[in-house]
């Protein structure tokens, strides 16, 4: 267990690993936000697609 802890602390302190860690945290936050607002996002896309379909119908009629 000591080696794992030591490796984790080394990874956390290293400058090159910090960029990777930041990217992973940003992706995680985006996924969490998407999951929280999933229903709202789906409803908005359905409304937009419905409007686009209605306008396409009026153009091709």
Whole-prediction pTM: 0.48
The count of residues in the chain is 61
pLDDT of 18 reads: 62
| Higher-pLDDT residue of 18, 6 | 6
Write the pLDDT tens digit of every residue in 20-47: 888 889 999 999 999 999 999 999 999 9
Give the ranges where the chain is alpha helix by DSSP (H).
Answer: 2-13, 15-36, 38-60
pLDDT of 38 reads: 93
Using an 8 Å Cβ cutoff, are 21 and 12 in contact?
yes
């Amino acid at each position: 267990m000591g080696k794992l802890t030591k490796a984790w602390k080394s990874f956390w302190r290293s400058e090159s690993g910090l960029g990777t860690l930041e990217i992973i945290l940003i992706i995680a936050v985006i996924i969490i936000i998407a999951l929280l607002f999933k229903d709202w996002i789906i409803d908005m896309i359905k409304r937009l697609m419905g409007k686009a379909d209605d306008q396409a119908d009026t153009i091709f009629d």
